[in-house]
Structure 1
């Protein structure tokens, strides 16, 4: 009996050794790559996972001096106050509208740019266009805000100068509630369209050129090639990026709104991120602002999970 148990133990040990063998071998063989991973792992642990402990203050009456462990636990009170706040629903509506505008007009932009660049055969011209399209991504929103203020100025801006040539009255775009969201969405598209096209250009570069050659031999024109080869090959990348984009549907972009808005457009420009900043930092309501941020994160998680399941039901690859 003891011999049988010993044999089973040896068998289990040998099986574990066989399973651990490839992992140990890979660790020794690719030690330099694992070493490079360490700063990234430390970054995510320190700045992404460790701060999650602070989420508990959304359920507390947080006191800075008492700390998390010493603050009073009040449950869902902040969430109830959030939904009873007269300003919250207008802020939520602004956030949702601006985000949907960016999704409807901004998400297809990089796809269209990548498709257009993919058809350019003159490499020097193609690189020039790519460089000009990528450049705005590396500008901070402070610089972009300065550019917009100069271009859209009602007195000296070139846009209003052109409007004057046609006998139209000057428009203060950044202080007009009917124009502010348009400026916000258009400036975001201009700034990020080139950078967003990189992923789609990489996906287009992976398409087998023989498919286009065979389609040409069969008499397919550019439109047919786009419809039956390019778009189907690009669709998996589009689906994955769209799912990830839905996870940030309530992330309008704090810096952009903060540097562009002003009291005259608060009614259409105040969003969740600026609301959290104003309530959390300027009014020191840390627990309430954390509850609002947690609500936004939960909405994003629900959208990602739901869209991922829908994508799989439609036959596409999800993100997991």
Structure 2
């Protein structure tokens, strides 16, 4: 199927996915300890749109339900969707430059770095907030970026970056940090529950300030990565072929690695460690739409948002009154999927 023909149909698929996302978002907002009718949810949301506010009457809706929708569930749904979109896009980019369907957003050690930073912040007892972010989240963000920088420099040989070296350096640094985190947990029993909860991922503390702050870098980052889809396509075909097409391979790798790692750091700083989103969604859509990143990146944005939103809704509603860390839900889906990819990779090439 040619790109033009794919593009014609993928717009329809994008619209279908967008409608599915809206439907799931509404349903997710209705679910919880307090059940809120879907009709009321729609009214509450529409009432906050300027040109519709005077036409929508919400006076007959409980104030407590309005508060729950606007200040608890809606921020959580939006943040989960943003993080899902980011992890999916970053996974797509990593799989392109590594030419490996099993690469995910944490291949650079960002997750372990974030976990180390968060654990350090929890142990030090920093409970204050800055611009809506807990200092633990800021420590996690710093830890993720610092780890990425270390892995990047370990993998760099002169002005070149070996993708194999990046993978190996990421594994080594992640293992080292995981060991340090384990030691910190053993020595700080009082904070063990907080550390474990954070490292399993959660959107329990989502708020509008977080959303406003992370949306800007996430939006700009995805725009820049989307502008590099032709280069990604060239790299997937092969580095030698890409060079013959005039693509500066090393520069493309650097930009994608650095920017993707920054976006992953933004995501984990507000959600904790959530694995497998960047593994499952890109590969699933690659099977459906092929490896053309001009199509794959936009599709993955909505697909990642839908997947993580479903997982988060299951996390907070599956057990009545008990919230399951969302990272556990994604792992339930991701573990078997990873084994499937591993088995498939023995027989097939990436493209």
User: TM (normalized to structure 1)?
Assistant: 0.31
Query: Bigger relative contact order, structure 1 or 2, given CA contacts below 8 A and separation 6+?
Result: 2
Q: Which has the higher helix share?
A: 1
Q: Which has the larger radius of gyration?
A: 1
TM-score w.r.t. the length of structure 2 is 0.29
